[in-house]
Structure 1
Amino acid sequence: MSSPRSARTSRPVHGDVVRITTAGTSRADEMSKRQRNYAIAMSIRTVCFIGAAVTGAAGLSWVWPWLIAGAIFLPYVAVVLANAGDSRASSLPLPGGGDPQRQLESTPREL
């Protein structure tokens, strides 16, 4: 037999997870994620430059222009992605199709 405490603390076994907050991630976690994404993009850019030099020296004249183009445009893409904010919606969808922005109507007061 289970104790009442264990029944209260056990997690429900539902398929859908309901988010109960619209709060974003912490500032430190967000900065860490942005820095990691930027470092990955700049690593790919470095590989493009090295690949362009190697393929240009090997005589593959159809490959190196594409690698140079990638190396030129990747910094722009990396900065845009690093500066992209949290994409969470500001409103919380309510179960049952309720409108999260709905408010009670005020009735005129009779004096």
Structure 2
Amino acid sequence: MARARNDDDAVRITTASASRHEDIRRRQRRYLASMSLRTICFVGAVIVGEGLAMWLLIFGAIFLPYVAVVMANAVTTRNDAFDLRAPTVARPQLEGGTGRQSIPPGS
């Protein structure tokens, strides 16, 4: 079932979302960057050895997958911070009729 838009905002090209292909590519890059950083944390923890630095790197390696998934699933939205203003000039409207008017035959 399709949902109807309830807001009165006009859709402008500056607020249009990116293409699906571009959005997926951007998400994949963010995920790959986070997982690369996680791998670096694991390798760094082994190289550093015992100490506080090792535990910080292990902590980063454990929690980076969560951050990577959240970032990969984040929806990209655009906002041009441009609000449409209501017209300041009153617009004339048609007045209602006084009743039913008949058209003479043969006109």
TM-score past 0.5 threshold: yes
SS in 1 for 2:23: helix
What code does the residue aligned with 2:82 have?
P
> Can you list the C-alpha shifts for 1:27-60, whole angstroms capped at 9, x where unaligned?
000000000110000000000000001112xx4x
Contiguous gaps of at least 5 residues in structure 2: 1-11, 99-107
Aligned CA-pair RMSD: 2.6
**Residues in 2 aligned to 1:69 and 1:85: alpha-carbon distance in whole angstroms:** 27
Q: Distance in 1 between matches of 2:52 and 2:22?
A: 41
2:52 aligned to which of 43, 59, 62: 62
Structure 1 residue 107, shift from structure 2 partner? 9.1
2:40 aligns with one of 39, 44, 47: 47
Give the TM-score normalised by the residue count of structure 1: 0.62
In the alignment, structure 1 residue 26 sits paired with structure 2 residue 14: no
Structure showing greater Rg: 2
Q: How many percent identity over aligned positions?
A: 42
Give distance in 1, aligned partners of 2:17 and 2:40. Answer: 33
Q: Which runs of 5+ in 1 are unaligned?
A: 1-19
Contact 2:41-2:60 at 8 Å conserved across structures: yes
TM-score by length of structure 2 reads 0.64
The aligned counterpart of 2:3 is: none
SS for the counterpart of 2:82 is coil
Change (3 A) 1:110 1:65: farther
**What is the rounded CA distance, in whole Å, between the counterparts of 2:68 and 2:95 in structure 1?**
55
Equivalences, count = 81
Q: CA deviation at 1:110?
A: 6.2
